[in-house]
Structure 1
């Protein structure tokens, strides 16, 4: 059974997502009911909602919207990774509000589509340090060329647990393995970083097979070890690479030779520990 640590829900009647205008394949509603049916069929028992880069003024609205869904009978949603803006002066007050909200398990600020120097301001870094001791995690979504900047941020906040999204966003389609591999090896040396096995089916070409993904997933597991990896669906982005059931089947194939205890850590055990689920 899986805990999905990276679920996106899109409801354009409730929230606004400016970036969707540039991604035609995802520019529709992806609602909880559609996800839940697929997820339960595939063996997902709980999920963390990952922020979907809504209009900044709607960040709290998104949290409240997902919290409402979590209250439904039999809901899979166990918490949320909320959007945040560490580059803004209001972050400190926002942090304190979310610390008082047990539904919020962590934060993410999209970095891979933002200017490289966003995380280099003193305000951004000071605000990330403020998360130390809060129990809230910080998801890093960075390109391989941005990994050095991510490492700097990680080193400046050793008391914060960072989650490296999507295996470090490798360019599988472009076969740029060496640069990505070196960055993973280096960031994995930091004990306060956990890697998320997620998202990569969207970075491969349409003809990908489990063997295509194998060197990437195995390098991440080998670098981080079984105690510092979690699993995520990246639904609905995974629909760009075959869909939820296909990604879960590929995951089973990729760890088929591993022990049951190792699989349990990846599928659910580590997530339970990291986010106290």
Structure 2
């Protein structure tokens, strides 16, 4: 049974998503609700619902979705890591309505202009507060931010980190520096990685599994199957592939692994990391 470790939901009648207003994002400029996800992913037995915008209201909404869902089994939410009151904000989420579904926190680090943002003292204090409450922290980074991510995971070994979308390598570019940084990040036992988001880093109209394979092989070699987990990044993946197409590509990428190793990537790792 498949665990989808990374998908989103949004309702444009509740809140705009300003990151999908440009014309190239038109294919996903509509609401995507839980029934839409269930219809798109009939083979998924459990999922992790991940934040989309940096506003405090979204996380309680997602926790309520998880509490009423037969599929959504964990939530990765948002809070302001730089706030002096970050601990209180986290406690309010964990102790509040449906707080038992909260398993992680994420921030759109990829949008921060400072490549060293993760290494700020206030951010480290916020990350320590996340870890102290038994929550994971998801690293939504681009390759130029990986050096800061590496220093951060080394400085905070008590925090469990998850790399989203393999840190968004430019598919088709030289593997060199990205691959080296991914391997250095994986050297820390407190880091796992999501096999997600690769199709939208490739050519949306003409990508192939062969295009993705070198990047997958770097991640697999660096982390091993027990620290890699499948995520759809639905509905963002729809810019380049249907849910079924991306799932099929991921299954092809892992097809030469043993049944046990495939089970780790498609279920075991996510169940351990998110307590599913």
1:174-231 CA-partner distances (Å, limit 9, x unpaired): x132121111111110110001100000011121111111111111011001211111
CA separation in 2, counterparts of 1:111 and 1:159?
20
Matched residue SS, 1:9? coil
Shift of 1:245: 0.5
Deviates more, 1:74-83 or 1:115-124: 115-124
Deviates more, 1:16-25 or 1:144-153: 16-25
1:198 aligned to 2:196?
yes
Q: Which residue of 2 aligns with 1:39?
A: 41
Taking structure 1 as the reference length, what is the TM-score of the superposition?
0.92
For structure 1, the residue ranges without an aligned partner over 5 or more in a row are none
Shift of 1:63: 2.2
Runs of 4+ in 1 over 4 A off after TM superposition: none
CA separation in 2, counterparts of 1:63 and 1:122?
25
Q: Which residue of 1 aligns with 2:48?
A: 48
Taking structure 2 as the reference length, what is the TM-score of the superposition?
0.92
CA contact (8 A) 1:87 1:118 kept: no
Shift of 1:34: 1.4
Q: Which residue of 2 aligns with 1:81?
A: 76
Shift of 1:111: 0.6
Shift of 1:119: 2.1
CA contact (8 A) 1:142 1:169 kept: yes
1:2-35 CA-partner distances (Å, limit 9, x unpaired): 1111111010112232322234332211122111
Aligned pairs, number: 269
1:18-68 CA-partner distances (Å, limit 9, x unpaired): 32223433221112211111111xx111111000015x2xx2x32232233
CA RMSD, Structure 1 to Structure 2 (Å): 1.5
CA contact (8 A) 1:69 1:75 kept: no
CA contact (8 A) 2:195 2:231 kept: yes
1:146-184 CA-partner distances (Å, limit 9, x unpaired): 1000111111210000000101210004x1321211111
1:1-277 correspondence to structure 2 within 5 Å: 1-22=1-22, 23-40=25-42, 43-54=43-54, 56=55, 59=56, 61-72=57-68, 75-100=70-95, 101-115=99-113, 116-173=115-172, 175-205=173-203, 206-277=205-276
Shift of 1:247: 0.5
Alpha-carbon spacing, 1:69–1:127, altered in 2? closer, same or farther (3 Å): closer
For structure 2, the residue ranges without an aligned partner over 5 or more in a row are none
